[in-house]
Chains A and B, each alone.
Chain A
Amino acid sequence: MKTIIFTLALLLNLSCVTAQEVTIKKGTKIEDVKKGTYYKTDKALLNKYLGIWSTTVNKKVFKFEILKSKTEVDGIFIDRIVGRYYYDEKSDVYLSDATYECSAMEYGLDVLEKGKLRFRFFDYDNDKLGVLEFELIEENKASWHLLERGGYRDESFRKGFSVPTEMVLIRKK
């Protein structure tokens, strides 16, 4: 029994050493970035975006869930921001590998502070990308503005989007 407890204690200790976490706050200067470290984004800036945002359009519930995603870049870990939408009761769509999550294009502290995120939006019904501007209007209330992306315009822009392009969303408590 003592051996088991000792082994568990050793493993817990080792996991603390190998999985170091540092929270990045506004004004934090990282002098020495260490491989294997998880550089977490300040919750105070991140949490105002995370969660499920919803509204009802033509008697159908639209939901947009914003999550953080721990991502490895060159041996260190950072928080990315991703989003996924649910519309027309298609709640199992993300089980398919063909469906991408939406991904925030910038998620630096300066950007988070401003209250506006831009996502690379994937419309899984129309199989096309767009740009989503998600802006906090007030606490727990945000505007949704979906745009065609720039660059070379192939024929996909004629399809438009399968979800509303202008909405106001409320965050669920």
Chain B
Amino acid sequence: MSGTIDGYLHSHVLPNGNSIFSPDDIEALYLLYNNGHINNTGTFVISVVTGHGTSYSIIIDDINAFNTFSQNNLIGDNFNSFSIGYEADYNQLNNLFGLSSISAREVALLNALENSGLSILKGNSDYSDWQKIKAQGRQTVDVDCN
């Protein structure tokens, strides 16, 4: 890949595709940034549409926080720990606490991205509305944008 981009949309197809961004997607975002492929971090957006009927976007709220987070979580050995932590959290939420697979992945990813400088927005069924969400305990709640 060469040059810069303003964002991208990708899909997760069934049967294996996650209902939300995977750890690899978060790593990909960092690699795009680190390799100089992001045109403007203030407006850059990545989105995913999935076979589970869900759609999400990620924006970068704080590039310095994202850079620090990436050094600690997305590079080399740390990426392995980041992935295992996210997946263990997901499996615990789904298996023990009885959250649906989709909800458990939302909460687990929001937990994993705490203090990352990234925000997750959830799309509605026709992609006309995108609501910023955050984890609160074992639930996701809307973030007031006012």
Q: What is the bound-complex CA distance between A152 and B1, given in angstroms?
A: 10
In the complex, per-residue mask of A79-118: 1 if CB is within 8 Å of any chain B CB, else 0: 0100000000000000000101001111111000000001
**Residues 76-97 of chain B: 1 if any A CB is under 8 Å from the residue's CB, otherwise 0?**
0100100111011111101111
Q: Which residues of the partner chain A approach B98 to less than 8 Å between Cβ atoms?
A: 29-30
Q: A73-B89, A118-B16 are in contact. Are A78 and B80 (CB under 8 A)?
A: no
Q: Are A106 and B96 in contact (CB under 8 A)?
A: no
Interface residues on A, range: 20 to 34
- Interface positions, chain A 123-161, Cβ under 8 Å from B, are 133, 149-152, 154
B27 beta carbon closer than 8 Å to chain A = yes
SS of B interface (majority): helix
- Taking the closest CB of chain A, its distance from the CB of B117, in whole angstroms, is 18
- Please, what's the 1-or-0 string for B94-124, where 1 marks a CB less than 8 Å from any CB in chain A? 1111100000000000000000000000000
Q: Are A107 and B92 in contact (CB under 8 A)?
A: no
Q: Which of B16, B80, B85 contacts A100 (CB 8 A)?
A: B80
Task: Contacts A150-B22, A152-B32 given; indicate if A108 touches B80 (C-beta within 8 A).
Answer: no
User: Which one of B24, B25, B80, B91 lies within 8 Å of A106 (CB-CB)?
Assistant: B91
A-B contact pairs, 21 of them (CB 8 A): A30-B96, A30-B97, A33-B97, A71-B88, A73-B92, A76-B96, A78-B88, A78-B91, A78-B95, A80-B87, A80-B88, A103-B83, A103-B87, A105-B83, A106-B91, A108-B91, A122-B80, A149-B24, A151-B22, A152-B24, A154-B31
Question: Residues of A at under 8 Å CB distance from B?
Answer: 24, 29-30, 33, 39, 71, 73-74, 76, 78, 80, 98, 100, 103-109, 118, 120, 122, 133, 149-152, 154
